[in-house]
A and B are shown apart, each in its own frame.
Chain A
Amino acid sequence: MSSAGEPTLDALEAARRETGLSIAELWRRYFALGGMRTALEIDAFLNGALLAETRDRDVLAVALNETFAELGRDHRVPYSDDERAEAGEP
């Protein structure tokens, strides 16, 4: 677990509810962004039934953040590498 604001399941699920995306819609966006998990697995992640890898959490965070941006909302789910990103590239 990174201390740099890795997106927690709670944060992801709260953000999903706030965007109003269904699991299927979120999965479609996640899939478009290169996510490799099935919609069923995403459902399981968000319900805490399956552990999500950092990579999948980040892709889900991108999907949600882009949805917020489309909605014109100023909400952002943090990424696993946020601190490094703020400080410049590794």
Chain B
Amino acid sequence: MPLSPLSPRRADAFTVAVAFRPLVTVVSVRGEVDLMTASTLHAVLDSLLADGHAVLALDIGEVSLLGAAGISVISTVATRLTLQGGSLTVRAPGALAVRILELTGLGHLVVTTAVDADATPELAAEQVRGDHSWTVAPRAVAPLPTVGGAGVPARTDVVDAALRLAIALAAATIDGADGVSVPLEREAVIGTVAATNETVLRMDAHQYSTDEGPCLAAARDGRWFHIESLADETRWPAFVPRARSEGIASILSTPLMLADRSVGALNIYSNAASAFGAREQRVASLFASQVSGILDDATSFDLVGEGLADALGARALIAQAQGVVMTRRHVSADEAAAILRRDARTNAVSVLLQATQVVSSTAAVHGASS
């Protein structure tokens, strides 16, 4: 997967606008909701709550980065509003934002509206019916919308975007971090799936090309490596000179665990020696477990999603075949199911194959079940 480093932060990118509508107060946010800007958003929402605005719609359609701090604000405000008998809905046209909210347990807040760049916040107002009832947006039917999903990006895209978000937060949070990357094993090949800048991308590449280095060691052995000073480092003789030529002086590599198996690493690089003290190491391990969590969710999501896609296809076909049998034989659904089952047995085929034959050919219906 090609890497797209995050664009440099723009201090002016973040804005909050509030529109007071008859049934709902629409808060439109744009730009990056990160550690620095989330407190502003929180303050705005707090003042609205204090003024008695109980039905809020948060439009994050223009948000370019939704960080953990922003998610925490959304979660806190949603809980408070629910307790007060109000409601918070989130309008998030981006599949990524929706996925992030789902991963963090806030998926039920999302109001799914058609993705329409020109849509005005009134859309949100229409969604919040029965204004003072305190039900939040209806919960989406769990896994079904993700199957065969129109508009849902390929899973690896979503995961990689979530990883980029996590490393951007790690880079911003960990003092002394000049770059963060996540190399990941996919289909038995290790590659960098997220990096905050070109230097750390090259740092990872140096390790792949020399086949050594702390990040590879962390990913392969599931062990944690802290190189306080590359000047004094004697392991990895091929890699270390290249790292020093990039201006890197210290490295912290934490393995990413997936079901007791190491599948990658969270690498934090610094231009200063001894940049990572006890606090930084603790924060790094927190981020590593968060990233492992993203991967874990994505993996189980993958397994369930793929299995369900097949199962749904089979189920639909069998239901159609039952419908055909019900119509032709004037029988109940249960009787139609029994007929399909018996015919499948007589023909020594699976029920699914029998159903396929029933649906695909009228002649087969007569031949097999009449």
Contact = CB atoms under 8 A, between A and B. Distances in A.
Nearest to B335: A90
Contacts of B76: none
Contact of B351 (A28, A33, A89): A33
Given A32-B314, A34-B315, A34-B319, A62 B307 contact: no
A66 B319 contact: no
A66 B338 CA distance: 15
A81 B350 CA distance: 18
Interface in A38-90: 55, 58-59, 62, 66, 69, 79, 81, 85, 89
Of B318, B322, B337, B341, the most chain A CB neighbours within 10 A belong to: B341
B352 interface: yes
A32 B352 contact: yes
A7 to B, nearest CB: 12
B334 interface: yes
Contacts of A34: 315, 318-319, 322, 337
B341 A58 contact: yes
A66 B315 contact: no
B220 interface: no
Chain B interface, >50% SS class: helix
Nearest to A80: B338
Contact of A69 (B315, B318, B338, B350): B350
Contacts of B338: 58, 79, 81, 85
A71 B123 CA distance: 54
Contact of B311 (A31, A55, A66): A31
A32 B311 contact: yes
Contacts of A85: 338, 342, 345
Contacts, number: 43
A86 to B, nearest CB: 10
A59 B314 contact: no
Contact of A28 (B307, B318, B339, B341): B307
Contacts of A32: 310-312, 314-315, 318, 352
A58 to B, nearest CB: 7
Nearest to B329: A89
A17 B314 CA distance: 24
A29 B351 CA distance: 11
B308 interface: yes
A55 B314 contact: no
Given A34-B318, A66-B351, A55 B337 contact: yes
A13 B134 CA distance: 44
Contacts of A28: 307-308, 311
B173 to A, nearest CB: 37
Interface in B304-340: 307-308, 310-312, 314-315, 318-319, 322, 334, 337-339
A31 B337 contact: no
Contact of B318 (A33, A66, A79): A33
A66 B350 CA distance: 7
16 contacts: A28-B307, A28-B311, A29-B311, A32-B318, A33-B315, A33-B318, A33-B351, A55-B334, A58-B341, A62-B341, A66-B350, A66-B351, A79-B338, A85-B338, A85-B342, A85-B345
10 closest cross-chain pairs (CB), A and B:
A32-B311, A32-B314, A34-B318, A85-B342, A31-B311, A28-B307, A28-B311, A66-B350, A32-B315, A55-B334
Given A32-B312, A66-B351, 5 more contacts: A28-B308, A33-B318, A34-B319, A55-B334, A58-B338
